[in-house]
């Protein structure tokens, strides 16, 4: 199984949700599963609405601390999945040596669009984001196991 890194902007909403879901779906696999943000300056906890959305799925984000993307953390076996095509473009531009490892999540699994940022919106939008990511991560895991 590949190592997985999920990347969004601040690493407080979408990518921690994706990380939590992937860890739950993969179980006790030895693969590295983590999340990072491209605009992280200070360590911050996961957004409270993201925490609540994940509690409904029996996944805890209470110990999450945001971390900035660092190319030194990328393993040879790692797949870097971004929440939007803009994140994908940013990483490929700034880290061209990683171009063959970076993909926007939804297009990678033959779904359309981007994972929309719920930041600053209501709980319902966070719940919808978590549901969308749950569907996407399940599809991703099926694809990686095939």
Q: Residue 137: which CATH number?
A: 3.40.50.2300
How far is CA 35 from each of CA 42, 100, 124, rounded to the nearest angstrom? 15, 18, 23
Number of domains in the chain: 1
d(CA 28, CA 50): 23
Q: Give the pLDDT band of residue 146 (cuts 50, 70, 90).
A: confident
Catalytic residues, by residue number, are: 8, 14, 117
Question: Which domain covers residue 121, as residue numbers?
Answer: 3-145
Cα(111)–Cα(98) distance, integer angstroms? 23
pLDDT per position as a tens digit, 84-115: 999 999 999 999 999 999 999 999 999 999 99
**SS3 state of residue 68:** strand
């Amino acid at each position: 199984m590949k190592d997985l890194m999920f990347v969004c902007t601040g690493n407080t909403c979408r990518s921690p949700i994706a990380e939590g879901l992937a860890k739950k779906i993969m179980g006790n696999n030895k693969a590295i599963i983590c999340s990072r943000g491209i605009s992280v300056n200070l360590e911050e906890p996961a957004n409270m609405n993201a925490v609540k959305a994940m509690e409904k799925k029996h996944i805890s984000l209470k110990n999450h601390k945001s971390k900035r993307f660092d190319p030194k953390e990328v393993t040879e076996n790692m797949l870097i999945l971004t929440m939007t095509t803009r994140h994908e473009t940013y990483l490929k531009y700034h880290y061209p040596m990683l171009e063959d490892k970076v993909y926007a999540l939804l297009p990678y699994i033959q779904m359309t669009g981007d994972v929309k940022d719920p930041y600053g919106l209501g709980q319902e939008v966070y719940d919808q984001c978590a549901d969308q990511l749950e569907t996407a991560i399940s599809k991703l895991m099926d694809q990686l196991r095939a």
